[in-house]
Chain A
Amino acid sequence: SQQGEEDPQALSIQEGENATMNCSYKTSINNLQWYRQNSGRGLVHLILIRSNEREKHSGRLRVTLDTSKKSSSLLITASRAADTASYFCATERPHLTSGTYKYIFGTGTRLKVLA
């Protein structure tokens, strides 16, 4: 089952506007990551936020984490046509038999930025 669920499934905005997408998860986490995927390509890591952090910035990206609500949001400010992509959140889950971790991805938000 998917740990993370993104909302909305699809978002269409005008260039220059801000885009906000949300991720909810079910179990406690050590960190949460956001990835971007351009059409038909692999995923690219954007930002990681740890469970003891509430907010993190990277360029035009702002990520918040609310562990009490088990949710995170990704804000892209002053969006550009090049931001058109799918965005995924990912959380880690301990793999009990190996002692390592596996990553659980949500179903993604498809963002379209219109020029």
Chain B
Amino acid sequence: DVKVTQSSRYLVKRTGEKVFLECVQDMDHENMFWYRQDPGLGLRLIYFSYDVKMKEKGDIPEGYSVSREKKERFSLILESASTNQTSMYLCASSPPEGVAYEQYFGPGTRLTVT
């Protein structure tokens, strides 16, 4: 079974702190994604990566950056956390298009910025 793990289930940080959210997948998937989920807004794509060291902006990249130094690991970085970044963060991975389109999700990290 594909497994996507995220470094923390719950995280509390202070405004202005630099925050790292880590995601690891064990299926050698090329594609990895970071979403945030907010009530009434569904899932919104922050960044995605289709290869090591490759990254593309999603729909709401402002205030975030990402890093993919190894194929299995995709990190989301909040350079200076703000209260409006309080949210549920979901990581996902998928094989390359043309093979399958199913995304595999991690359990999520609920981040609170105070």
Q: Is B69 an interface residue (CB 8 A)?
A: no
Q: A31-B101, A42-B4, A98-B50 are in contact. Are A108 and B108 (CB under 8 A)?
A: no
Query: How many residues of A sit at the interface, in one of the four size bands?
Result: 20 to 34
Interface size on B, residues (CB 8 A): 30
Q: Is A7 an interface residue (CB 8 A)?
A: no
- Chain A residues within an 8 Å CB radius of B56: 95, 97-98, 100, 102
**Stretch binding the partner chain, chosen from B12-20, B35-43, B79-87:** B35-43
Residue in B58, B96, B102, B105 whose beta carbon sits within 8 Å of that of A42 in the complex:
B105
User: CA–CA, A105 to B58, complex, Å?
Assistant: 13
Q: B48–A42 contact, CB under 8 A?
A: no
Q: Is A40 an interface residue (CB 8 A)?
A: yes
Partner-A contacts on B (CB < 8 A): 4, 31, 33, 35, 40-45, 48, 50, 54, 56, 58-59, 88, 90, 92, 96-97, 101-108, 110
